[in-house]
Amino acid sequence: MRSIIQNLEESKIREVANSSMGLPDVLAFWFGESDEVTPDFIRQAAIESLNKGETFYSHNLGLPELRTAIADLMTEKHGPSMGAPVIEFSRIAVTSGGVSALMVAVQALVNAGDEVVAVTPVWPNLTAQAQIMGAELQTVALQVKNGVWSLDLDLLLNRITSKTRLLIVNAPNNPTGWTLSRAEQALILAHCRKTGTWILADEVYENLYYEVTQNNCAPSFLDLACDQDKLIVVHSFSKSYLMTGWRLGWMVIPSCLNSAMGKLIEFNTSCASVFTQRAGIAAIQGRESVTPQVVQHLQQCRDVLVSALQTLPGVEVALPKGGMYAFFQLDGYTDSLDLAKRLVKEAGLGLAPGCAFAPEADGWLRWCFASKDLARLEQGVARLKRWIEKNPHPTATAHAPKDKPDESLQLGLF
């Protein structure tokens, strides 16, 4: 086996999840997945396709009907209404999940030894893929100010030189909720145009964004870029349509990559299943009955969870602008893997350890708040509260009462 592969970290999230084996009562919030089943009309579209006998190979780049629906959706969100060009059909490639899109993109761009810069903490798949291709990986860490993760843009731009083949950035970010601003995107794009660096933007959480915007989603590089830019934007059906297990995603590519991506998809998975793609078409067609409700519910989840966490002594947590995670610290604990395992065993609470996302995030915990039942979140917080009361850490200090209630507290149920 290659030593690179041997040395890739096993998922620390799975390590924590595995530590729950045999424990009868664990409330799990460790994985990045809603607990809601895919809406019935989407499942029925796949069932209809299966009943029709659509069980053959399809085009490498996806069914034309699906690519058209995606191009129209992307144009609606990131086209002329944002001052950007129409996103043409030829720029859409359908893949077997967002993760496959990311892998194929890295295969297209990164030779062994190429320098790749990634913004961290981040979903570990993004950095692992570059390492699998033999990249020289450099990371630029977000920085914490008052419990909020933010980008030191100068630091990032200084790190990207003409030797940098690829910048990998995920915003809204898993796990921190950090999101790039439009101004930051403009400066990064201008800089990368100069250095000739490709941008691989994982924007799968774009709809899970809780600020008011013109196009109801987070700022996207697509709002600023043209077809000639060295930019690949990756999307997925997983989050916005409750379709994690379907393995369906897409990328928006410069049209000059169209034929290369067709080849690479052939050599990776050949195509997404036709019945899965039919479900994707139904999801896009019926999106008004899914995504706004998903986002509205997630915002409620976020507000309930974060405001409840903020009442706990020693917990430092900020309201994330996007995504489906609360990322927080418990005062006095620096080893998040150990802490997460203790919480499983001693509190029946399953969270993801920050060290799964970057060394600089050790000491942090990620709580996925995509819970159908808000009460589950409240039960989880109650368990954490009891555990903290039983385990007053030497260096932990209870928050002093504030003069004014925290703004976010007003949003929650607590």
Could you say which of 24, 25, 83, 112 contacts its own copies (CB under 8 A)? 112
For residues 61 and 377, which CB has a smaller minimum distance to its own copies in the complex?
61
User: Among residue numbers 84 through 103, which ones bind its own copies (CB under 8 A)?
Assistant: 96-97, 99-100, 103
Distance CA 318, CA 325 (A): 11
Q: In angstroms, what is the minimal distance from the CB of 264 to its own copies?
A: 7
Q: In angstroms, what is the minimal distance from the CB of 276 to its own copies?
A: 7
Could you say which of 19, 58, 164, 307 contacts its own copies (CB under 8 A)? 58
Please tell me the count of residues contacting its own copies according to CB under 8 A. Answer: 65
Distance CA 113, CA 115 (A): 6
Q: In angstroms, what is the minimal distance from the CB of 199 to its own copies?
A: 14
Q: In angstroms, what is the minimal distance from the CB of 100 to its own copies?
A: 5
User: Among residue numbers 287 through 326, which ones bind its own copies (CB under 8 A)?
Assistant: none
Handedness of CA 400, 401, 404, 409 (dihedral sign): positive
Could you say which of 107, 299, 334, 379 contacts its own copies (CB under 8 A)? 107
Contact 319, 209 (CB under 8 A): no
For residues 236 and 307, which CB has a smaller minimum distance to its own copies in the complex?
236
Contact 272, 56 (CB under 8 A): no
3-state secondary structure of 315: strand
Distance CA 219, CA 204 (A): 12
For residues 185 and 273, which CB has a smaller minimum distance to its own copies in the complex?
273
Q: In angstroms, what is the minimal distance from the CB of 134 to its own copies?
A: 5
Contact 104, 264 (CB under 8 A): yes
263 part of the interface to its own copies, by CB under 8 A: yes
For residues 57 and 414, which CB has a smaller minimum distance to its own copies in the complex?
57
For residues 38 and 220, which CB has a smaller minimum distance to its own copies in the complex?
38
Q: Give helix then strand counts, H and E, for the chain.
A: 13, 15
Could you say which of 92, 117, 128, 283 contacts its own copies (CB under 8 A)? 128
Could you say which of 18, 23, 55, 375 contacts its own copies (CB under 8 A)? 55
User: Among residue numbers 28 through 47, which ones bind its own copies (CB under 8 A)?
Assistant: 31, 33, 37-38, 43, 46-47
Q: In angstroms, what is the minimal distance from the CB of 262 to its own copies?
A: 8
Could you say which of 81, 259, 289, 293 contacts its own copies (CB under 8 A)? 259
Could you say which of 15, 41, 50, 374 contacts its own copies (CB under 8 A)? 50
User: Among residue numbers 206 through 245, which ones bind its own copies (CB under 8 A)?
Assistant: 242-245
Contact 250, 70 (CB under 8 A): yes
Q: In angstroms, what is the minimal distance from the CB of 334 to its own copies?
A: 26
Tell me the residue type at 271.
C
User: Among residue numbers 327 through 346, which ones bind its own copies (CB under 8 A)?
Assistant: none
Own/partner pairs, 141-148, CB within 8 angstroms, 24+ separation: 141/358, 141/360, 142/173, 142/176, 142/178, 142/360, 146/318, 147/316, 147/317, 147/318, 147/328, 147/329, 148/178, 148/318
For residues 75 and 244, which CB has a smaller minimum distance to its own copies in the complex?
244
List strand residue ranges (DSSP E) for 110-202, in order: 115-120, 136-141, 143-145, 148-150, 164-170, 198-202
Helix 98-109 to helix 124-132 angle, to the nearest 10 degrees? 40
Q: DSSP characters for 217-239?
A: S---GGGT--TTSSEEEEEESTT
Local structure of residue 321 (DSSP, 8 states): S
How distant, in Å, are the alpha carbons of 32, 80, 265, 313, 345 from that of 259? 32, 26, 10, 56, 51
User: Among residue numbers 265 through 294, which ones bind its own copies (CB under 8 A)?
Assistant: 266-276
In degrees and rounded to multiples of 5, residue 149 shows phi and psi of -85, 130
The footprint of its own copies (CB under 8 A) covers 1-2, 4-6, 8, 10-11, 31, 33, 37-38, 43, 46-47, 50-51, 53-58, 96-97, 99-100, 103, 107-113, 125, 128-129, 132-134, 242-247, 256-257, 259-260, 262-264, 266-276
